[in-house]
């Protein structure tokens, strides 16, 4: 029987990923349990942890990651739009190709798919 893996649909940051990886490695030879401890329950160390969490939350963010995550779909969409704009700009500013420019405004997905589907 294998070691159960900790998986989440959304990983909030690199620290979460590192923590999950470290806990998974620890669980190979150790018994690891994550417990939810309700706040203000007079559990030793809970008040200290609560104070440290509040202190950390009140400070400005410092780190290599963005404070708010950016979905990869948003990044892909922005990159695609930028690439199309650059290609259109290059097409319009390139000298020559006068006759082709009369028929083709710029990048065209349908025409590209058609051209790629033709036999060679």
Q: pLDDT digits over 12-53, tens only?
A: 566 777 787 888 888 888 887 777 766 666 777 777 877 888
Task: Report the predicted TM-score, pTM, of the whole model to 2 decimal places.
Answer: 0.38
Burial pattern 6-45, b for ≥16 Cβ within 10 A else e, equals eeeeeeeeeeeeeeeeeeeeeeeeeeeeeeeeeeeeeeee
Given this model, what pLDDT does residue 43 score? Answer: 73
* Higher-confidence position of 6 and 19: 19
């Amino acid at each position: 029987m294998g070691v159960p893996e900790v998986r989440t649909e959304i990983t909030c940051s690199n620290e979460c990923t590192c923590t999950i990886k470290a806990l998974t490695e620890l669980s190979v030879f150790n018994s690891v349990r994550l417990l939810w401890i309700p706040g203000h329950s007079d559990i030793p160390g809970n008040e200290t942890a609560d104070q440290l969490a509040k202190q950390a939350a009140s400070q400005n963010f410092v780190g290599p990651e963005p404070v708010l995550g950016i979905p990869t779909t948003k990044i892909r969409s922005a990159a695609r739009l930028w690439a199309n704009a650059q290609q259109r700009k290059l097409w319009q500013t390139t000298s020559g190709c006068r006759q082709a420019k009369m028929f083709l405004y710029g990048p065209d997905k349908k025409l590209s798919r058609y051209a790629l589907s033709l036999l060679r």
